[in-house]
């Protein structure tokens, strides 16, 4: 079962930086992410979702490939590519994989203007090693929501607090 973790950060730039670092950490197999979305509540009060993967573009690309292939069979590859791309884009835009977009937009409305949140759907992780790697962001990070058990949530909060203290000690040294 996957775990949902939402961490609040002071800016979109920092949230994007943490997401990029998590992708690097995932390559080291310390974490397995199903989804990672940055939710922005901009200065004008609008909520924007910065998805890691643009499903509509991916669907259009895949649909274009399969449409071209089918079009070659019927001697009209351009028409097949166009129809395939259209169908692929439409079906991808209607699918919601990972974290529910309505939930993230609702969450974004609760954020202070100009701040951001990083929504993570985690399959599995070595929490202490991941938090250790993200220590530089710990003083600014705040656990907003999670579906972890109370015990796991308390452990994650303790790890974040310890990392924040370590980061502050390094800054003062």
- Tens of pLDDT, residues 69-97: 455 555 555 555 555 555 554 444 444 45
Q: What is the mean pLDDT of the chain?
A: 77
**pTM, 2 dp:** 0.68
**Angstrom distance (rounded) from CA 79 to CA 56:** 19
Integer CA distances (angstroms), 59 to 82, 85, 101, in order: 12, 7, 18
For the chain, the domain total comes to 2
Whether residues 153 and 72 fall in one domain: no
- Give the chain's length: 173
More confident site: 6 or 77: 6
Whether residues 41 and 106 fall in one domain: yes
- Tens of pLDDT, residues 20-67: 999 899 999 999 888 899 999 998 889 999 887 544 344 444 555 555
* Domain endpoint, select from 66, 94, 122: 94
Residue 103 predicted with pLDDT over 80:
yes
Whether residues 100 and 137 fall in one domain: yes
Whether residues 10 and 60 fall in one domain: no
Whether residues 49 and 61 fall in one domain: no
Q: Provide the residue range defining the domain that includes 86.
A: 55-94
In sign, the C-alpha dihedral spanning 108, 112, 115, 118 is negative
């Amino acid at each position: 079962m996957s775990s949902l973790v939402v961490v609040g950060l002071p800016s979109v730039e920092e949230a994007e930086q943490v997401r990029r670092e998590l992708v690097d950490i995932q390559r080291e197999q310390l974490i397995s992410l199903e989804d990672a979305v940055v939710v922005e509540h901009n200065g004008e009060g609008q909520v924007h979702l910065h998805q890691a993967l643009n499903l509509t573009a991916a669907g259009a690309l895949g649909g274009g490939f399969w449409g071209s292939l089918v079009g070659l069979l019927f001697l009209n590859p351009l028409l097949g590519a166009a129809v395939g791309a259209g169908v692929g884009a439409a079906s991808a835009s209607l699918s919601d994989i990972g974290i529910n977009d309505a939930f993230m937009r609702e969450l974004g409305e609760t954020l202070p203007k100009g701040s951001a949140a990083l929504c993570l759907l985690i399959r599995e992780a070595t929490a202490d090693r991941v938090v250790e790697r993200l220590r530089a962001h710990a003083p600014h990070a705040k656990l907003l929501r999670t579906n972890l058990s109370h015990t796991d949530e308390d452990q994650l909060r303790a790890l974040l607090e310890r990392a924040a203290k370590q980061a502050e000690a390094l800054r003062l040294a």
